[in-house]
Amino acid sequence: MGTGLYKIERDGHVLWEHRDPKISHDADLLPGGNIIYVYGMGDMKSDTTVKEIRPDGSLAWSWRASDYFNYSPFSDIDPVQGQGWAHTNAVTRLNNGHTLISMRNFDMIVEVNPQGVPVDTILNVVRSPHDPEVIDSEYLLAAHQSPPAHSAKKVDRITKEVVWQYDVTDRSQYPMRDVNLLPNGNILITNATRLIEVDPSDNQIVWQLELTGSIPEGATPSRGFYKAERITD
């Protein structure tokens, strides 16, 4: 965050880097070799929200939230109080060539076409959304951060209805930041102090990894687990 992108070997050797102070939260390597990333920690309306760069660092594509959402209630958000204006925290390039963007402060997950025009939005269904992913083209998984619980939610992309949900009410585990569908059909959920794998058929935990020791109260937003991926190869 605030520095750039790095490709690093397990021994810590840096193979490649791209310096950019306006970067945070999420970066993905695309099939063609480009890299897409977001800026959402301290962003202003004038800032570029998403950038796609080539391996040589040149800009291939970009998107700015204020080009499409600079109207109330979004325009009324204070970027200082909100840790940024849109506070974009995730981006994914979809199989259809569109781009899925998660904007925490807007309570919005938006799909934009290659021209940047929004073609679909999920608004106020997943509050303070984090790390959404599309599954089977019909549904979307995302982490929801709003009382009375932090929740993993599966949303029908057509009806915008929540079709499955798993709640975490233990505040010591907050925040929930990542929800992934695993090859076995289970859901991997990342909380600040505990990773859990849940069987969605009965919402039972079948695997977990918990941090030893403790994190000081109020420090979990910046400490603890942030994201997790199941390595399958």
The DSSP string of the chain is: --SEEEEE-TTS-EEEEEE-SS-EEEEEE-TTS-EEEE--SS--TTS-SEEEE-TTS-EEEEE-THHHH-STTGGG--TTTTTSSS-EEEEEE-TTS-EEEEEGGGTEEEEE-TTS-EEEEEESSSSS-EEEEEETTTEEEEEEEETTEEEEEEEETTT--EEEEEEE--GGGPPEEEEEE-TTS-EEEEESSEEEEEETTTTEEEEEEE-SS---TT-TTTSS---------
* Domain contains 61: yes
pLDDT attached to residue 104: 98
| Cβ 166 vs Cβ 199: under 8 Å | no
Where does the pLDDT of residue 219 fall: very low under 50, low under 70, confident under 90, or very high at 90 and above?
A: confident
Is residue 214 domain-resident? no
Q: Is the pTM of this model over 0.85?
A: yes
Give pLDDT tens digits for 157-197. 999 999 999 999 999 899 999 999 999 999 999 999 999 99
pLDDT band at residue 215 under the 50/70/90 scheme: confident
Percentage of residues in the chain having pLDDT higher than 70? 100
> Which CATH number covers residue 97?
2.120.10.30
CB of 211 closer than 8 Å to CB of 193: yes
- Residue in the structure block whose two tokens are 């925490």: 104
Banded pLDDT at 24 (limits 50, 70, 90): very high
**Phi, psi (5° rounding) for residue 141?**
-110, 140
**In a domain? residue 208:** no
- Work out the average pLDDT over 133-159: 96
Domain-embedded: residue 43? yes
- Split at pLDDT 50, 70, 90, the class of 213 is confident
Domain assignment of residue 48, yes or no = yes
Query: What's the total number of domains in the chain?
Result: 1
Residue 62 lies in a domain: yes
232 pLDDT tier (thresholds 50, 70, 90): confident
| Closest listed residue to residue 142, CA positions, set 188, 178, 181, 106 | 178
The pLDDT tens digits for 46-70 are 999 999 999 999 999 999 999 999 9
Domain of residue 73: give its range: 4-124
Residue 164, domain member (yes or no): no
Task: Give dist(CA 198, CA 208) in Å, integer.
Answer: 9
In which band, very low, low, confident or very high, does the pLDDT at 233 lie, cut at 50, 70 and 90? confident
Arithmetic mean of pLDDT over the chain: 96
| Assigned domain for 183 exists | no
| Per-residue pLDDT reduced to its tens digit, 144-153 | 999 999 999 9
